[in-house]
Amino acid sequence: MTYASSFLSTLDARGFIHQITDPAALDAAAADGVVTAYVGYDCTAPSLHIGNLVSIMMLRHLQQTGHKPIVLMGGGTTKVGDPSFRSDDRPLLDDERIEANKASIRRIFERFLTFGDGPSDAIMVDNDAWLSKLEYIPFLRNIGRHFSVNRMLSFDSVKLRMDRDQSLSFLEFNYMIMQAYDYLELNRRFGCVLQMGGSDQWGNIVNGTDLIRRADARDAFGLTTPLITRADGAKMGKTAAGAVWLHEDSLPGFDYWQFWRNTHDADVARFMRLFTDLPLGEIETLTSADINHAKAVLATEATALCRGREAADAAAATAAATFAGGAGDDLPSFAVVGPVTILDALVGLGFAASKGEARRLVAGGGARIDGEAIADEAAMARPGARISAGKKRHGVLVSG
RNA sequence: GGAGGGGUGGCCGAGCGGUCAAUGGCAGCAGACUGUAAAUCUGCCGGGUUCGCCCUACGUUGGUUCAAAUCCAACCCCCUCCA
């Protein structure tokens, strides 16, 4: 369908929409006034990763089209653990850990959203504020009565565990109730009428809109994004090195930039629409001209959003210098005292997991010092040397 | 509850007393070709190594044997069929 509101038409044109509970009504609400919407994030790690980026961008578009984003931190729910589509229990984290993760994650959002007190300023709230204060009996009477266990058992997320005869603790079983309750709380406290999330959250989101209707007789909406995969079918954001983290402490800017630079041809236009602010017309122009150059633009723009323009330009400059044969400022470095063997340098820079692997790299002709291929594993490298493993991984030895 | 089948390296999946660090496929890494892409071809692909070997690994724990991923016992977990 075509949307009247700039919010939904933007999301639609850029490929964010998978399902909406009542598209026409939500569109009307968004065209009519300020819509307050939220996305929930858990605090199991100190950083979010690429998989969360779609919903973060959605909140950004929400704000830029005049609406109000709420970032809900699952400080309370993290103490329970989402059993959805997981085969194993998640480890439970202690309060201290959760607090530290929350603080760290907030810094990411500050890059994408404007926080404050204005009508369309973003706010961040923690569901621990209400979840940990709940009283059991009142909760059961007021909220519990709206949930049918029969129906909860029919959700795929629960059925999966039941069918496998895997234990699903009562604690975890309550997760979906808490998420629905979060939505109700946000609706009451902030007039939040839209919950967004990945397509795997559809069931949980619908639970929330149902609860709001039953408990307070009000309408609320849900919107999910498609699962973003790469053109070759692989799940996005997994590299050999692990998850692609948004936080600079977990993944250096240069590596973040490189992740985007190495996007498959077929994904460039789609990723530009999803993960940059570039206007659609410009994306069209860029990707139909020189696809390889377009990737560099994608990398720089995506990095600028997440890490700042300066970090993006630095990464781009380092990449340009490095791939031209020089060395940029932003390369990974390894501090050494005096010369070390090529093997130690490779392991120290994280290019090889063990000396054996480093040996194989040298034997296979993949190791270079200052651009010179090294065939001898006993070769020494001095501080200041540029070490390369293959064509893409580069680092420098620094004195220290 | 009864009867079968199975748990092997990141994943899938062979092996079923020594020649097994374990065929093959996928993923990954490197080389060639390119565009820091894809496809294709080639090599590598548990750890250490003085390159002789050594260590750790085939669900868990014991046992048989000169020798076990392979045989036996117990236990744990998964799957299928019957009730």
Interval A294-315: pLDDT, tens? 999 999 999 999 999 999 999 9
Tell me: is residue A295 an annotated ligand-binding position: no
d(CA A57, C1' B28) / Å = 30
Is A14:A273 a contact under the CB 8 Å cutoff?
yes
Q: Which domains does chain A have, with CATH numbers?
A: 6-225 (3.40.50.620), 252-323 (1.10.240.10), 333-399 (3.10.290.10)
pLDDT tens-digit map of A6-62? 999 999 999 999 999 999 999 999 999 999 999 999 887 788 888 889 999 999 999
Strand B proximity list, CB < 7 Å: A 163-166, 232, 234, 239-240, 258, 261-265, 291-292, 295-296, 319-320, 323, 353-357, 359-361, 364-366, 389-393
- Cα–Cα distances (Å) from A367 to A332, A349, A380, in that order, read 16, 12, 12
Nucleotide with smallest C1' distance to residue A232 CA: B38
d(CA A364, C1' B16) / Å = 36
Furthest-apart CA pair in chain A: how many Å?
75
- Distance (Å, rounded) from C-alpha A126 to C-alpha A40? 9
pLDDT confidence band for A166 (50 / 70 / 90):
low
Pairing of strands A367-369, A340-341: unpaired
pLDDT confidence band for A214 (50 / 70 / 90):
very high
pLDDT reading at A256 higher than 80: yes
- pLDDT score at A90: 45
Tell me: is residue A41 an annotated ligand-binding position: no
d(CA A266, C1' B10) / Å = 27
pLDDT reading at A328 higher than 90: no
d(CA A391, C1' B51) / Å = 29
Sign of the C-alpha dihedral computed for residues A267, A270, A271 and A276 taken in this order: positive
- Distance (Å, rounded) from C-alpha A86 to C-alpha A82? 8
- Cα–Cα distances (Å) from A97 to A7, A45, A74, A76, in that order, read 36, 9, 13, 12
Residue nearest to nucleotide B30 (CA to C1'): A366
Regarding predicted confidence, which is higher, A88 or A116?
A116
Residue nearest to nucleotide B44 (CA to C1'): A360
pLDDT confidence band for A235 (50 / 70 / 90):
low
Is A303:A257 a contact under the CB 8 Å cutoff?
yes
Q: How many CA atoms lie within 13 A of A102 on its CB side?
A: 22
- pLDDT score at A92: 55
Is A339:A382 a contact under the CB 8 Å cutoff?
yes
Nucleotide with smallest C1' distance to residue A295 CA: B37
Q: Which nucleotides of chain B have an atom under 7 angstroms from any protein CB? A: 28-32, 34-39, 43-49, 51, 78-79
Mean pLDDT across A101-113? 93
Which residues neighbour A296 within 8 Å (Cβ) at sequence distance 6 or greater?
A261, A316, A319
Q: Mean pLDDT score of chain A, rounded to an integer?
A: 87
Tell me: is residue A183 an annotated ligand-binding position: no
pLDDT reading at A219 higher than 70: yes
